[in-house]
Structure 1
């Protein structure tokens, strides 16, 4: 079992201190062919370049961050360059996403209508609360962060970045989605991601997650009391689509000192209202 990741908080007055989010989480790998492993590694390169933004990375940084030896990193990245998914800025010695990656993103964009519908509401929630607001979507047995909007409180929570993936049940938004699923699905999800939670998120045991699920169903929102990072608490609600199926979540993350009982209840009720408004928009 590895140690739990350290809490990452950023002082807004010193943006250079910004830290990277948690590495994407997925279930334990099944035995796979060499071809499947190569494909997975190539996709990992694309995912990494997506997260670091337009500045790109040097080849050595790509290999280091993904745990690849130099030869493998060079082979994968150059193949992606040849196919147009990655561009090589020779002057800067950096690699960044290329036109084919942009084309794939445009093709997938219609699937994210929900996030576009929510964008204005999410920005308003961040401004209203002063804290960090996340929007995540359900994807299999995981939740994927699509957006992060930051309030004006000087100490900002930067634990999650758009594109990060979390096992269902880990984090307030993810647990809010899980709580909206039937009991048999909840049991199946926890069985599938048990090993990953034990390794990466040791506080998120079956018992603790199930307790949060029960509390979430009773209150209507999930209050996650530092189970992922001790000093970072969060509140999350599920978002339903026009057919009343749970598809996403809205969550607010803040320092523990900012989420006392009264403010937690106020924000929880505000998030439930926002969720209902968003679903009504989708139905309309």
Structure 2
């Protein structure tokens, strides 16, 4: 059952419901005839209570043009402010978590949405399961007026970005930066500076953004995760990550630091200063 005081985002089979114009929102009245499998709080945003509702595939309000639905990256490309980004990122991660964690990790009994908090509770042993968050680092390495950008095997042709990787059990974020850079491109770095963070809903990463200075070594891509990497100046930047990414924010920070004017399609709502 929907709450009449809430605004709803909907998701089905891990997929948030929206179009190229952005995520779709619904009132409780819109959902009168739509059974919600589960509903989770997204919090108070711009003085409104938001929730994400989970529905069966194809079980959508009649105003939804299913032929116009698109993926999360396309929706994020239309985002113009940090509040909307946070809303989409949270809802998308919760939708994935809902589908991925259906049974208790302790006793294997079914999990059900908790009535009072963002969690699932076991119907047998009362164990609570919270949304998964995977901490990661992302780092832009500088060498004078150049920055190191890499082309990963999963990237679209021609796109380059900052280096990134998961933080392993027992290590600090700073250690992960040094390790990942060495593993992926073979160089050592120094003078790490933490800059900012971003929740990244692919599928549930929490990115900690760093700047680092080049110390020694020759760039040698690992050939698996990283296929190519090089030093780039402001005048010869390759195809960059989308404006809503923390990688683009780090690159913008670098450009500001060296006195360059930011591109028009820069990170509009993630200020680089």
TM over 0.5: no
Give the number of the structure whose residues are more often helix, by fraction. Answer: 1
TM-score range, shorter chain: under 0.3
Normalized against structure 2, the TM-score is what?
Answer: 0.25
Structure with higher Rg: it is 2
Normalized against structure 1, the TM-score is what?
Answer: 0.24
